[in-house]
Structure 1
């Protein structure tokens, strides 16, 4: 799509998810996965910050991974997020192709990678804002360890993940393996990613990425 064909505000939308940053990791880490079995600012500031796991927050044991099934919806009750999920691939530049500009309240799933609930790390990405208003992952940085992420899957099951880590990674020191790689081998894990830090008007990009990590702890029908 040429710049002339894009709707108003799409430059901010594109920057709002910092897809160029995601490209650096997915182009290297994502190839291993596929080859194997606007107007508002994001609610995070600073250079590199980590919420991490507060002391005293008990986390449940991991549930055994599920059979693969495509995600259809994601819900994070603690921060009021509920959204449809659509599969996305890579665009012409090799970056994860975000949901269409006309669908800022839709979450994209890297469809050539792990399916949520299956063994490995599944990736969900979403816009933080548009030119004029918040988008689906605007409040993602307010999630906390212990919060639940529920992913409704095409087989009728609901994979329930527990957040164990919330971090903001500076774009200049983005670590693809740390972000996309599994925290523990053999688990079903989930990453939810959006923009963070401050908005650089000179480059029209955000300075960081918010990365929420979670792992499968329950399954419901």
Structure 2
């Protein structure tokens, strides 16, 4: 997701692009589960790789930081709601290193599919999720939570979804009933100057495989 490469700026994505995200949030409210795998997409997939067993979901706790060591991400997380148009609020444009968590949905580590979004670039430099498309199945995503716990997720696939054929059911639906899952989303494809938006979304899908305690936290 870009800070906006046009003079219009002012939104992480155009209304049409954000409406796709909102549709996914509506579907969560409908308790959609059991999405078939593998998903249709253009990139990645476990490719037969043996991934670890899922960990039991954790008690709900607010996310504070997300780390993706393989691509050098260590970013603060802030809650985001919906704006006046009914679209999810992006992270502030002045904070391209921040990740936004959809606070109307699942808290990362709890059962269900939690959503985090971040910019891919600004007008002049890469942003927090610039390297997201290079993440690989089997790599880890760690979410530090307000209760002192660390929820460790394992990436199961990385997909690029063209906006024109975006299927919110497949992207945002919980894949395995009762499992704690995480989606990391940013812009992808190419930047369409005429439409003033990117042509696709990069979506990293991961699931909870471990839990720990933040160093220095009393137990």
TM-score w.r.t. the length of structure 2 is: 0.85
Determine if the alignment matches structure 1 residue 147 to structure 2 residue 139: yes
Partner of 1:178: 170
Determine if the alignment matches structure 1 residue 31 to structure 2 residue 26: yes
Partner of 1:130: 122
Distance of 2:131 and 2:14 partners within structure 1: 16
Q: Residue 34 of structure 1: CA displacement? A: 5.1
Determine if the alignment matches structure 1 residue 167 to structure 2 residue 159: yes
Partner of 1:207: 199
Q: Residue 21 of structure 1: CA displacement? A: 2.2
Determine if the alignment matches structure 1 residue 112 to structure 2 residue 104: yes
Match of 1:52 among 31, 45, 56: 45
TM-score w.r.t. the length of structure 1 is: 0.85
Match of 2:209 among 199, 210, 217: 217
Partner of 2:90: 98
Q: 1:4-63, CA deviations, whole angstroms, 9 ceiling, x for partnerless residues?
A: xx9996746845x56642422423x42354587xxxxxxxxxxx61211123x2200000
* C-alpha contact 2:6 2:196 (8 A) present in aligned 1: no
- The 3-state SS of whatever aligns with 1:193 is strand
Q: Which moved more, 1:154-163 or 1:86-95?
A: 86-95
Shift of the 20–96 alpha-carbon distance from structure 1 to 2, 3 Å rule, reads farther
Ranges of 4+ aligned residues in structure 1 off by more than 4 Å = 6-13
After superposition, the CA RMSD in angstroms is 2.2
Q: Residue 91 of structure 1: CA displacement? A: 1.2
Partner of 1:21: 17
Query: How many residues in Structure 1 have an aligned counterpart in Structure 2?
Result: 202
- The 3-state SS of whatever aligns with 1:49 is coil
Structure 2, gaps ≥5 residues long? 32-40, 214-219
Distance of 1:24 and 1:7 partners within structure 2: 18
Structure 1, gaps ≥5 residues long? 1-5, 37-47
